[in-house]
Amino acid sequence: MIEIRKATEADIPLIRELAGVVFPDTYKDILSPEQVDYMMQWMYSAESLHTQMTKEGHIYYLASYEGDAVGYLSIQPEGEGVFHLQKLYVLASHQGLHLGRRLFEYAIKAIKKLHPGPCQMRLNVNRANKALTFYEKMGMTKIDEGDFPIGNGYYMNDYIMGLDI
């Protein structure tokens, strides 16, 4: 059984645990180990997650499969009628069970609760990430691309994708 629930600050250690497995695994063939380590600290330190949740408007959700936490997503209001799907990750051991699709659909429902009228969901996805085809299957289209500096001489080389909802 798949369950998705809103995460709280008390879930920060669990989000960090999941990210510690899924994020390096996702980017091992795309980014250098040094950049992965930098990004893990930048995005997933306890302090960063706390700031995201309490000051930056990120709303995290956790996915469980048969009682075990196996994935997470994060959405963030970005402007009038625009929401950013900041994160959507599922452990490799549980990919293929349609959990990514369920999390994606849940993100749309969560955004619609926050903003019942027409709006857009956007996300950044690394141009070399195999998840690009997943997002295209979900109906997202490329609306822009860029190389975004994140500090320490590193960049996120992303497509920006959008979906009108």
| Res 96: pLDDT | 85
| Res 68: pLDDT | 96
Residue 157's pLDDT band (cuts 50, 70, 90): very high
Arithmetic mean of pLDDT, 34-43: 96
DSSP per-residue codes, the chain: -EEEEE--GGGHHHHHHHHHHHHHHHHTTTS-HHHHHHHHHHHHSHHHHHHHHHTS--EEEEEEETTEEEEEEEEEEEETTEEEEEEEEE-GGGTTSSHHHHHHHHHHHHHHHH--SS-EEEEEEETT-THHHHHHHTT-EEEEEEEEEEETTEEEEEEEEEEE-
- Distances in whole angstroms, Cα of residue 123 to Cα of each of 14, 99, 105, 113, 142: 23, 18, 14, 19, 10
- The architecture in CATH of the region 2-164 reads 3-Layer(aba) Sandwich (3.40)
| Res 79: pLDDT | 87
**pTM score over 0.85:** yes
Query: Which tokens is 142 given?
Result: 């490329």
Q: What does the pLDDT look like over 67-117, one tens digit per residue?
A: 999 999 999 999 889 999 999 999 999 988 899 999 999 999 999 999 999
| Res 97: pLDDT | 86
| Res 44: pLDDT | 97
The answer, yes or no, to whether residue 131 has pLDDT greater than 90, is yes
